[in-house]
Chain A
């Protein structure tokens, strides 16, 4: 098993390095010279050359790449070409905001998916179960930003219960923080919950067919007792896997929700960077998001290897 994990770790590292090359190469072909963008169209060639030297963008691409990537390894993302501000602390700051949003969305998704998915599986082949499945189908089809807009319309415009957007750090004003987090978290979590419901239903249905559950029923346990005592734990592995993989989807999906609710998270930073043509900033944010996706996949892979006895004991 150790060699298996080691191999996965190696693949993760190779993927990460490849991803950094892709991101760097991608931004390097960007039309428009960052120095010219920073100085405006009337800049003299001397001024542009001076700024190039200051940024280090006059050096060969390979040197620039090495400079960037070796900085990344120690958390140094460089200085923005546009604002001159250090990018690393900015990303860290915004990442915390996005993390709050994503984690609370995940809680919302679980609160929806567990009861609905289990109910849909238990009422399999009955009208109520089919209705629940249909409901989750509809939920999957609704874009999260539409949910956000509808929630704002209802709770901010009509009822005036909650603010329509903005952000308050939790340490500053916990109540204001919770108020502002609620609608975006529900918008992001609702759709994910609908998707997760289908996985929960399917996992429970699979477990319900297992022999050990039939044995439990034969012992005289009622369906929900058998499921609670013997089924849920077995259904958990696939569900936890999907949940972890959804974390990656949520991180990227948060970009749109942050725009809807004017939340200063990683997504807003990315979009602002693109708008200002702030290359290094965009490069940094994209790299952080890609790292997160790769890391999540790696961790899930390793956990799967450790948790699932069938994989654990299989020959590598």
Chain B
């Protein structure tokens, strides 16, 4: 997909200055909005360990399907009488857990692979990228369903499947960045001075592509949240009774006719979390490379 982002536009100094100023404005908006949303999700998850209004998995047969705003239940209760607000708070934990593990797997495996593909001899690099393309043929959702079928559905299989499916994105980004870094004179100098490839990778390549990788982490986090929600919705993600936003949505679907608001809260939570990580990624990208600010896709 390099064709989309790589087109060099006509660029003259005067205009560039104006656009850079404009970019700085959007940077802050994306970065701040994204940062606030992400921080809210993280704080909510942390808070849920210490305190939730009610026990999120406690079934209260006397308080089923209460409306939002009911005394003691701000967002109402579900069909088992569980407090929706408490479930949402506890659900943030699973969302973050899945994101951290999936993105962790993808970044820790994909980044070194990409650097290797960029630095290795042409044949080896080419082969690695072909394997990468092969993994890309198994989208996260499909891979997670296969994993669920083989190892049994659950949070762990979902996280690992999403992580593996995301490896190619990191490998691609890392390889592109590596090739760019390698073309610089100082790397040639380091090579000429006899520095070993591992040294070059750790000292020159990794620090220089860390920005790219960070941005990819944020964007992949958003994708992981969406994938986990879809999987839990399909019954291939987090198992009951552990609260998960995707499963809350699934449970709400049968009650659309009687309690449509039940779908609203988890849906809103997912959308805001994804929006937060996407905006944070955009903001970081602009901050790290102002030239890219205009060609975001």
Residues of chain A whose beta carbon lies under 8 Å from any beta carbon of chain B: 11, 14-15, 18-19, 22-23, 26-27, 29-31, 125, 130, 137-138, 140-143, 145-146, 149-150, 152-153, 157, 164, 198-199, 202-203, 205-206, 209-211, 214, 237-238, 241-242, 245, 248-249, 252-253, 255-256, 259-260, 270-271, 274, 277, 282, 286, 289-290, 293-294, 297, 304, 308
- Contacts of A19 on B, CB cut-off 8 Å? 134, 137-138
B26 to chain A, nearest CB (A): 8
Across the interface, B130 reaches (CB within 8 A) one of A15, A145, A211, namely A15
Asked if residues A141 and B230 are in contact (CB atoms below 8 Å), the reply is no
Which of these, A26, A125, A141, contacts B222 with CB under 8 Å? A141
Set of chain B residues within 8 Å of A130, measured between Cβ atoms: 26
Closest to B257 in A: A157
* Bound-state Cα–Cα, A171 to B137, Å: 33
Q: Flag if B275 contacts A206 (CB, 8 Å).
A: no
Q: Which residues of B contact A (CB under 8 A)?
A: 1, 3-5, 7, 9-11, 22, 26, 130, 133-134, 136-139, 141-142, 145-146, 148-150, 222, 226, 229-230, 233-234, 249, 252-253, 256-257, 260, 263, 267, 270-272, 274-275, 278-279, 282, 294-297
Q: A202 near B297 (CB under 8 angstroms)?
A: yes
Asked if residues A210 and B9 are in contact (CB atoms below 8 Å), the reply is yes
Shortest beta-carbon distance from B136 to chain A in Å: 8
A29 to B147 Cα, complex, angstroms: 11
**Cross-chain contact A241 with B233 (CB below 8 angstroms):** no
Given the known interface contacts A152-B256, A202-B4, the answer about A256 and B142 at a Cβ–Cβ threshold of 8 Å is no
Question: Which chain A positions have C-beta within 8 A of B130?
Answer: 11, 14-15
The closest CB in chain A to the CB of B147 belongs to A26
Contact B139 A249 (CB under 8 A): yes
Closest Cβ of chain A to B89, distance in Å, is 19
Taking each of B133, B149, B272, which has the highest tally of chain A beta carbons within 10 Å of its own beta carbon? Answer: B149
Residue pair B260, A157 in contact (C-beta under 8 Å): yes
Distance in angstroms between the alpha carbons of A58 and B4 in the assembled complex: 50
A-B contact pairs, 19 of them (CB 8 A): A14-B130, A15-B137, A29-B150, A138-B271, A141-B278, A142-B267, A143-B274, A153-B260, A206-B295, A238-B3, A238-B7, A241-B4, A249-B139, A252-B139, A256-B141, A270-B145, A297-B136, A297-B137, A308-B3
Among B1, B252, B278, which residue has its beta carbon within 8 angstroms of that of A241? B1
CB distance from A89 to the nearest CB of B (A): 22
B9 touches which of A146, A206, A256 (Cβ 8 Å): A206
Q: A241-B4, A290-B137, A290-B142 are contacts. A274–B148 as well, Cβ < 8 Å?
A: yes
* Chain A residues positioned under 8 Å from B274 (CB to CB): 140-143
Question: What CA separation (Å) do A259 and B145 show in the bound complex?
Answer: 14
A27–B147 CA distance with the chains assembled, in angstroms: 9
Contact, CB under 8 Å: B145 / A271 = yes
User: CB-CB < 8 A to A11: which residues of B?
Assistant: 130
